Amino acid sequence: GMLLILYFTLLYSTLPYSTLLYGTLPHFLQEPDDAYIIKSNPIKLKCRARPALQIFFKCNGEWVHQSQHQSQEHTDQGTGLKIREVMINVSRQQVEDFHGPEDYWCLCVAWSHLGTSKSRKATLRIAYLRKNFEQDPQGREVPIKGMIVLHCRPPEGVPVAEVEWLKNEEPVGSDGNINTRADHNLIIQKARLSDSGNYTCLASNIVAKRRSLTATVVVFVNGGWSLWTDWSACNVRCGRGVQKRSRTCTNPAPLNGGTFCEGMSVQKSTCNALCPVDGGWGEWTEWTVCNAECARQRSRECTAPEPKHGGRRCDGATLGTDNCTGGLCTQISLALSPPPPGLEVSSDVALYSGLAAGVVTVVVLIVAVTLYRRNQSEYGVDVIDSSALTGGFQSFSFKTACQGNPLLINSSQQPDLTVSQTYTSPICFQDSMDKELISQEPSLFDPLPDLKVKVHSSFMVSLGVSERGAEYHTQKAHPQTFPRGLAPDYSGVGLEGTLRGRREKTLLGPLAPSKPSRPPLRTAGVFGHAGGRLVVPNTGVSLLVPHGGIAVDTTWEMYMVINQDDSSSTLSEERQEVLLSPEVTYGPLGLDLSCPVAMTIAHCAEVAADNWSIRLKRQTQDNKWEEVMSVEEESTSCYCLLEAQCCHLLLEHPGRYALVGEPLSQEAVKRLRLAVFGSADNTNPLGYSLRVYCVDDTPYAFQEVASAERVRGGCLLEEPKTLLFRGNSLSLQLSIQDVPQFLWILAKFFEFSFSQVWASNQHPLQCAFSLERYSPASSQLSCKISVRQVKGQEQILQVYTSVVEVSGGSDCTITSQMGSRAFKIPLSIRQRICATFDTANAKGKDWQLLAQKLCIDRNLCYFARQESPSAVILSLWEAQHQDTGDLDSLASALEEIGKVHSTHSTSSRTSTQTTTRTTATLGRSTEELDAEFT
């Protein structure tokens, strides 16, 4: 064995070095790489080995034909060995036609004298990238400092696509706050305002690049209240007033659609400014003892009361001095001289002369009055002051009744003079429907004197039982004459006999007219998905049910009722509240709607000045009233849009609602509607009655009066007028003026206390004047009725009419409407507006801008919580413009929005074009819109 080893050692030692290397196995200098076929381009595979006598490719277990090989051979200069390089082309078709269990592969086999060597396998695949992303990023609205996570799953592809994020077309890089390498997702740990924008996921490989849908990220800031300001000074210098404090939603201010602050931005509180008290002198002290100078003194103090709060001090001297000897002590030093002659005598003469003149004057007056009464009794002249009777029932050109009001009298009809009593005094009461018998309270009529009046004609009037005449007195009721709830009434007496023969009748007879039957103020309708409108005719009360508020294939029978009972339980006596609107109920209680309804209620408050605190109240299940909100505060449970004549409410819960007001100062004004009705006397062909009403200036209150007058045959003689009644505790006065000659009227003046007028919603005020003509030939009446508040406004009701009986005319009968005909905005336009403005937009063109342009830009937090804020805004606009038949204001607002945002990006331009088309559609005529409905 040792010899054999030695032999081979000697043998190899004698061979050249190159021969030894050439005899080794092939070593690959280059092996084929994995490759992707892009589109139709073939792939080139290359192998290089040394030493190599031959190299062939083998693909998918089969040898590639020698003709497909491209070979090159050269000698390595360093070693002198042969280096062979071989290359083949693989087409897309070859790879596609292969259907093996694994990917298409190829390797090289190289030969040398000592054997063969194999290279690594090279895998060949067809490269591609699908178009659709498996998951597109979705837009987000996140609060500031919140986390933003945008998911992206790129399209399927070979090789696998890489992902890159773009923000507003600029690459997004990773930093400490932004991570773009989290499994293709984009994660922002704490959102900043600058992170708002349009984000796009970009996927790419060697074949193509794909863009995802753009995701809009809005980083919003919810509003926060600032600190309350200090309370303002009391708005009155003296007495009960109001002070305010406010805060703003600026800490921080809401941005990018963030929610507005919830709660009140303004708080009001009643305050009592201390009134200045002027000083007053107390009692003088007793005189001191007479001193050496013959003087005595006394003093007083300014303590009854002491001056307070800036009041004036007492005028005059604190110390009083007097000569205690009647001046004798001071005259000692003077030359004594007698007093001027006749001084005391002249003083006594003046005193006695004055007393004598007074006695003589009284005697003369008594004699004159006696002679005057005898003269009047002898000739039978009416003792009524005739200075007021300046006109007469004569022919003249009188004003034509206004045709716009169906209640106004029609002067063309023939006279038919009928009324129940003659010669009545003013019938003044708070509710003509509920009068009590006045005989129960005889003391109420103490201001009326017992009279007996003789009239120069074929008739005589007897008032009372006195045998002597009396002068005419103007009646003025004391404010406490009529307690609340009592219905005073005066009924007159008939007249019979001649100048010498007479029969006396009682002045105060009971008058209890039957209560006229009134139709219930209720309306109802069946509503479906299309919505509609409910209207209580002639009351200023309506309800709008928005389209889509009721589910599809569902109907509700809805109703509205106006409460006609006593409403005193609604008011808070501590706050001195008054009812400003009727109590309105809508239902049913189990009503299920997806969006709020819009209710419109008329009120009688003058809201131009900031002198009212107006609240919305709702009746609970136990018949108590709770405050829902103040119309000035911001709330997410309800919305109040207060206008000069009415209030529009967005409500979500059925029930009974009412508007109440608390006067914040004496400048608070309540509107009264004044109307005068007239009717003939049924029992006296020469009699006629004028009735003046003072009611709240709401359609509902006037409708009650008109209905009652229609039952009793009354006619409206003058268009109703509005009186602004101030909350200054001063009374209301009514008087009749310019009454024609030869017209009998018992009283010309009446006065209502402040409390009666201020609470007139409970009991409407009425005052009646009864007249009688001189002869049937006089058929026309002209006079003036003055209604004024003491130190306040005055209104004149001018009566020009023929004394005839006419019907009151028909009421306005607005029927309830269902479906698209009940709305001003066509359904297609409404849906287009909602689709445009409900979508969040980083540039601010959203429902908040729509509300601003429609002047509905307060309490936006209420709209923010709605599923479709734009739809609720449009419902409120519908309620606000139900009496106007055009869409000009809405079209103008949309056109203005379109102009403001005409320079935005492509997406904004698309929305602008939509807005412009909507504006053009709104500009079409009603007939075209009706055709579109059909």
**Confidence tier at 923 by pLDDT (50, 70, 90):** low
pLDDT at 911 over 60: no
Please work out, in degrees rounded to the nearest 5, the angle formed at the alpha carbon of residue 77 by the alpha carbons of 74 and 83. 30
Counting the structural domains of the chain, the total is: 6
For the ranges 279-288, 355-364, 627-636, 888-897, the lowest mean pLDDT is seen at 355-364
In-domain check, residue 321 = no
In-domain check, residue 191 = yes
pLDDT at 114 over 80: yes
pLDDT of residue 53: 87
Mean pLDDT, the chain, whole residue set: 75
Q: Name the maximum alpha-carbon separation found in the chain.
A: 197
Check whether residue 655 and residue 683 sit in a common domain: no
Check whether residue 693 and residue 742 sit in a common domain: yes
CATH number for the domain including 764? Answer: 2.60.40.2660
DSSP 528-571: -TT-EEEEETTTTEEEEE-TTSSPTT--EEEEEEE--S--GGGS
pLDDT of residue 454: 30
Token readout for 525 is 């309708």
Task: Enter the DSSP assignment of 5.
Answer: H
Check whether residue 577 and residue 647 sit in a common domain: yes
Check whether residue 692 and residue 822 sit in a common domain: no
DSSP 41-74: --EEEEEEEES-SEEEEEETTEEPPGGG-EEEEE
Token readout for 639 is 């919305």
pLDDT at 118 over 90: yes
Give bridge partners of residue 674 from the DSSP assignment: 694, 721
Distance CA 521, CA 537 (A): 8
| Cβ-proximal residues to 168 (8 Å cutoff; 6+ apart), any chain | 197, 198
Peptide bond into 159 cis (omega under 30): yes
pLDDT of residue 824: 87
pLDDT of residue 742: 65
Distance CA 532, CA 554 (A): 14
pLDDT at 384 over 50: no
Average pLDDT over every residue of 604-613:
85
- At which of 648, 663, 678 does a domain end? 663
Secondary structure (3-state) at 198: strand
For the ranges 41-55, 69-83, 352-366, 826-840, the lowest mean pLDDT is seen at 352-366
CATH number for the domain including 44? Answer: 2.60.40.10
Euclidean distance between the first and the last CA atom of the chain, given in angstroms as a whole number: 117
For the ranges 358-362, 544-548, 703-707, the lowest mean pLDDT is seen at 358-362
In-domain check, residue 896 = no
- For 892, what's the count of Cα atoms within 13 Å in the CB-facing half-sphere? 8
In-domain check, residue 702 = yes
Check whether residue 619 and residue 698 sit in a common domain: no
**Confidence tier at 400 by pLDDT (50, 70, 90):** very low
pLDDT of 159-210, one tens digit each?
999 999 999 999 988 888 888 877 889 999 999 999 999 999 999 998 899 9
Residue that is written with structure tokens 């019979």 in the block: 496
pLDDT of 77-86, one tens digit each?
887 788 899 9
CATH number for the domain including 837? Answer: 1.10.533.10
pLDDT of residue 87: 94
Check whether residue 701 and residue 778 sit in a common domain: yes
For the ranges 260-274, 680-694, 726-740, 904-918, the lowest mean pLDDT is seen at 904-918
Provide the residue range defining the domain that includes 781. Answer: 669-802
Check whether residue 172 and residue 52 sit in a common domain: no
| Cβ-proximal residues to 725 (8 Å cutoff; 6+ apart), any chain | 669, 670, 671, 672, 732, 757, 758, 789, 792, 793
Check whether residue 155 and residue 267 sit in a common domain: no
Give the number of other Cβ atoms within 10 Å of residue 266's Cβ.
13
Q: At what angle do helices 827-837 and 869-880 cross, to 10 degrees?
A: 130
pLDDT of 800-854, one tens digit each?
876 544 333 445 555 678 877 888 888 888 888 888 888 766 456 688 888 888 8
For the ranges 226-230, 233-237, 492-496, the lowest mean pLDDT is seen at 492-496
Q: Could you tell me the sign of the dihedral formed by the alpha carbons of 672, 678, 683, 685, in that order?
A: positive
pLDDT of 327-352, one tens digit each?
666 444 433 444 444 444 444 545 55
Check whether residue 134 and residue 156 sit in a common domain: yes
Token readout for 24 is 């080794």
Check whether residue 151 and residue 62 sit in a common domain: no
- For 779, what's the count of Cα atoms within 13 Å in the CB-facing half-sphere? 12
Instruction: State which H helix or E strand residue 18 sits in.
Output: helix 17-22
In 3D, which of 720, 659, 727, 653 has the Cα closest to residue 693? 720
pLDDT of residue 157: 92
Residue that is written with structure tokens 């404090």 in the block: 245
pLDDT of 435-486, one tens digit each?
333 333 333 223 333 333 333 322 222 222 233 333 333 333 333 333 333 3
Check whether residue 183 and residue 120 sit in a common domain: no
Is the Cβ–Cβ distance between 850 and 873 less than 8 Å?
A: yes
Dihedral through CA 613, CA 614, CA 619, CA 625, nearest 10?
A: 20
pLDDT of residue 635: 84
